Amino acid sequence: MLCLRDYQDKSLLSLRQGFIDGYKTLILYMPTGGGKTESAITLLVATAKKGKKAAMVMDRRILVDQTSQRLDKYGIDHGVLMADHWRWRPQEDIQICSAQTLEKCEYFPKLDLIIVDECHTVRKSVSDFIKNTGVRSIGLSSSPFTKGLGKLYEDVVCDVTTNELVNDGSLVPLRIFCAKEIDMTGAKKVAGEWSQKESTERGIKITGDIVTEWVKKTHEFFDKPEKTIVFCAGVAHGEDLQKRFQESGYNFVSISYRDDNQYKKDVIEEFSKPDSDIVGLIATDILTKGFDVPDVKIGISARPFTKSFSSHVQQMGRVMRSFPGKDFALWLDHSGNYIRFQDEWEELYSNGVSTLDDGKEKPKPEPSDKEKEVAKCPKCQFLWPPKSDICSNCGHVRERKNDVIIKAGELEEINGASKKEKYSSEFKESFYRELLKYADDMGYNSGWAYYKYHDKFKIYPSWKKEKAEYVSQEVMNYIISQNIRYAKRRRA
């Protein structure tokens, strides 16, 4: 049977408490790779054990098949509501459903719980069913930023962040390089995003740079070609990239909506093999859902967005899954998306999600050329570390533009003349150790202490993870005040 991680158990308890508190519709946020499917299966089984009916709805056949196979792996009886599926068993208490089939049949089973996978992709039929029936509903998402999502779901549960999963080894960190990007100056927009046609035409112009950069980086960091996924700007761009990679001696395969489902399934299954002959997969958005190949070590972003932070998050999440011998993943940004969404990503990475609605999905002012250049190392194009004058990739030291002093393990910014530090180094170390002690006592991950320390001092701790013997009243008062602030923010 399923064995959940601590934060997954905590998330399920939070969902149950939400229903006890009177909510009917909740979103479970977890970063990509956090185990949303296993958490959902646990909820399905718990509902069925009470003699009630539960369903999980997905908008792609491959996701329906993968989830059904996962249930088989655990020996869980279920039916599949999808056209022409061999497992059509509407009498079962657990159903895995294709959203398209439900729409075409204009049929929803009688349910006590509905779980909507990738709920940030809002389907009207599913939304209407939730609104009209009042059934308990849980949306699953690693990027719940869609406009109006808060009108359908009343609250969001967030009990783990990307940073915490990186710290405990469930995900790997990204090493980001801002490479030559697609020039979208003056490009037309459709519904707030650059048009597919113009993105494709402009993307093709830098295909050679994308291939050259990948060849350089995969040999520089791994001494050989490593599995790669490429998010291209359109079908023609994908085909051109496939041709260029193959001309360079590397087997990259492009897949798109034009290919039949069986071909795409076969290609992804081959790529998933540890000894696959396919080095890289290229697609526009097919790889953002239902794609779970943890040994991918390189991601290439070559599809620029102006407002879709959700898509940016989904794409990066595809290369962050952990795998034996995988210490990090490379992210080669030819789209400009990383700098475009850097503030939002750093907030999500550290703090997760606390509110719903349309706060993220809005067009962003394009960074200026100067801002883009300042954001990356002039020698190697590695994304510049925050508040540092030393590139952590190549060691290049840039000319100091402001009064920044660098201490071992900590960065501090001094504005103008030097001023006395409010807190001594000894006080800060003691504070961090007491936070670790509290985290341990409460069963929290050590990453909780790491970010509470940052909230307090605006810098990250460099001390070893050695917990104190007790927690002082001063530290307890700080923790209590933070908890009160968090509670007020959730109620707001």
Q: Average the pLDDT over 98-107 and give the result.
A: 80
How many domains, the chain?
3
Question: Two tokens at 82?
Answer: 């999808």
Could you tell me if 263 and 211 lie in one domain? yes
Of residues 378 and 233, more confidently modeled? 233
**152 part of a folded domain:** yes
Helices 342-351 and 446-457, interaxial angle, to 10°?
A: 130
Could you tell me if 121 and 88 lie in one domain? yes
Sign of CA dihedral 64, 69, 71, 76: positive
Could you tell me if 148 and 61 lie in one domain? yes
pLDDT tens digits along 201-236: 888 888 889 999 999 999 999 999 999 999 998 899
Specify the CATH number for the domain of residue 82: 3.40.50.300
pLDDT tens digits along 431-463: 888 998 998 888 887 778 887 887 887 776 766
**371 part of a folded domain:** no
**399 part of a folded domain:** no
Q: Are 477 and 467 in contact, with CB atoms under 8 Å apart?
A: no
Last residue of a domain, one of 292, 320, 351: 351
Last residue of a domain, one of 351, 367, 390: 351
Domain extent for 73: 6-160
Could you tell me if 64 and 108 lie in one domain? yes
Does 404 score more than 90 pLDDT?
no
Does 369 score more than 80 pLDDT?
no
382 beta partners: 177
Could you tell me if 35 and 142 lie in one domain? yes
Does 70 score more than 80 pLDDT?
yes
Could you tell me if 63 and 138 lie in one domain? yes
Looking at residue 184, its pLDDT comes to: 84
Question: Cα angle vertex 391, ends 375, 466, to 5°?
Answer: 110
Q: Please, what's the b/e burial string for 144-173 (b: 16 or more CB within 10 A of its CB; e: otherwise)? A: bbbeebbebbbbbbbbbbbbbbbbbebbbe
The mean-pLDDT minimum among 112-116, 125-129, 220-224 falls in 125-129
Last residue of a domain, one of 107, 137, 160: 160
**379 part of a folded domain:** no
Other CB atoms within 10 Å distance of the CB of residue 307: 21
Could you tell me if 71 and 124 lie in one domain? yes
DSSP 8-state symbol, 286: G
Could you tell me if 80 and 152 lie in one domain? yes
Could you tell me if 260 and 318 lie in one domain? yes
**420 part of a folded domain:** no
Could you tell me if 225 and 293 lie in one domain? yes
pLDDT tens digits along 411-427: 222 233 333 456 777 78
**15 part of a folded domain:** yes
Could you tell me if 228 and 258 lie in one domain? yes
Does 301 score more than 80 pLDDT?
yes
Residue 127 CA to residue 135 CA, distance in Å, equals 11
Looking at residue 1, its pLDDT comes to: 57
Could you tell me if 10 and 155 lie in one domain? yes
**75 part of a folded domain:** yes
**400 part of a folded domain:** no
Distances in whole angstroms, Cα of residue 63 to Cα of each of 95, 97, 206, 251, 313: 13, 10, 33, 26, 19
Question: Two tokens at 324?
Answer: 């034996």
Looking at residue 90, its pLDDT comes to: 86
